[in-house]
Amino acid sequence: MSPPSPPPWVHPGVRLIEAERSVGWAEIAVQADAFEAAFRAAGGRVVLPPDGVPALVAALVAAERSGVELHLSRRASAEAAAKPHEPGFAVLLETSGTTGMPKLIRHDFRRLRGRLRGAADPDARWLLAYEPAAFAGLQVILTALAAGATLVSAPGAGAVDLARLAVRHAVTHISATPSFWRAFLLALDGEAPPLVAVTLGGEVADQPLLDRLAARFPTAKLRHIYASTEAGALFAVGDGKAGFPAAWLNDGIDGVGLRLSDGVLEVNSPRAMLGHDGGWLSTGDVVEVRGDRALFAGRLDGRVNVGGVKVSPEVVEQVLLDVPGVRDALVQAAANPVTGHILTALVVPAPGTEETALRAAIRTAVADLPPAARPRLVTMTGSIALGAAGKKTRKGTA
């Protein structure tokens, strides 16, 4: 007996490869039937703890059929929220919680798929470098499902293991954070996957990294995406430059209105979360206009109080990343009995870089910053650990 036809957002030729096991629509359909029976019995809202991409896809299919809210949990111990559920199908996503307690954000497929582009592409091979249950991870999964592509995933794997997988499976498309891309480039040892699409999101895409990616994958389409769990997928920048055209602040882009309020970017998006009745949403991202370019200058809630002066670790990090010989950097706060906090920096040198010369170049680069923004301790390291979302984990903001 052949499996039932997939919903319109799943191409029947899709193939998922997880932990080297291949799963197609027929197996997904069987698991979706089992989920559907359980969801209809539970009713209302159900929680899916992290259990791999095939199970997530089957649960999405089942939740849509049974008309329930599906809470895609990023934590194995998550429970259904006490807040009453809304009627009908929806996907509930957790924010990362990097600046506080995670929030539950409600979307439907129209919003989640609002910026997905392209027709069927069975030759595409995607690597999943985001958490599956995160907004960005779900965007990658839905894109591969619609295209009938192959999606390669490895739960819990870091950049080194994912780089090996990308080469082994001849991956053609990767969407990941800038932090992941820096680690990915360092992990590649000679051989590289045949990428045709390189996408960055989730963090500021700095110019040195964009230039390195363009040089390493000269035939690939390079773009960085701006999105959030609350506001949805907003816009993509494909001109190879950091930031976005300042004209978009007046004209908008792709149906999204953009404006600055006291230097913080606000958006008016048709793809915002369910329950948002239109109007402007604050992103919390500080933006500076320089000439014809709008550049990101850190998170408003990520600033650190150093002796009464508010400084942005992300801005200082961008200065370090511009230093020749620096492959990656992490700037964060440390407690100090005199100033309350100081900034410290972890720096990953490029292979073959002489440490004394690099430290001198860093001192020169930060000399023009206000004293409070200059890192007081610079430590050289071979790599920078990333959180589950593929982003750097900061501590000590105040």
Note the pLDDT tens digit of each residue in 354-387.
999 999 999 999 999 999 999 999 999 999 988 8
The residues pairing with 345 across neighbouring beta strands, listed in sequence order, are 331, 378
Domains 15-229 and 304-382 share a fold: no
Give percent of the chain above pLDDT 90. 74
The three-state secondary structure class of 249 is helix
Give percent of the chain above pLDDT 70. 94
If residue 315 lies in a helix (H) or strand (E), which one and from where to where?
A: helix 313-321
pLDDT-wise least confident of 61-65, 211-215, 249-253, 336-340: 336-340
Phi, psi at residue 249, to the nearest 5°? -65, -25
pLDDT-wise least confident of 18-32, 52-66, 99-113, 271-285: 99-113
* Whether 9 contacts 142, CB under 8 Å: yes
Token pair, residue 252, equals 């908008």
Half-sphere exposure in the Cβ direction for 175 (13 Å, CA): 23
Among all chains, which residue has been given the structure tokens 């958006």? 267
Average pLDDT over residues 118-146: 92
Token pair, residue 40, equals 């209809």
* Whether 58 contacts 47, CB under 8 Å: no
Distance CA 349, CA 363 (A): 15
User: 199-256: per-residue pLDDT in tens?
Assistant: 999 999 999 999 999 999 999 999 999 998 899 999 999 999 999 999 999 999 999 9
Evaluate the CA torsion angle 132, 133, 139, 144 in order and state its sign. Answer: positive
In our burial notation (b when 16+ CB lie closer than 10 A, e otherwise), range 145-175 reads bbbbbbbbbbeeebbeebbbbbbebebbbbb
pLDDT at 82: 45
* Whether 150 contacts 25, CB under 8 Å: no
* Whether 182 contacts 209, CB under 8 Å: yes
- Give the CATH class of 15-229: alpha beta
What average pLDDT is seen over the chain? 90
Half-sphere exposure in the Cβ direction for 120 (13 Å, CA): 10
pLDDT at 97: 56
* Whether 321 contacts 328, CB under 8 Å: yes
pLDDT band at 101 (very low <50, low <70, confident <90, very high): low
CATH architecture of 304-382: 2-Layer Sandwich (3.30)
| Res. 117: pLDDT tops 90 | no
Continuous H helices in 305-375: 313-321, 355-366
167: Cα separation from own chain's centroid: 22
pLDDT band at 44 (very low <50, low <70, confident <90, very high): confident
Q: Which amino acid is at 194?
A: P
Average pLDDT over residues 323-335: 95
Token pair, residue 51, equals 């259990």
| pTM as predicted | 0.90
Q: Could you tell me the residue ranges of all domains in the chain? A: 15-229, 304-382
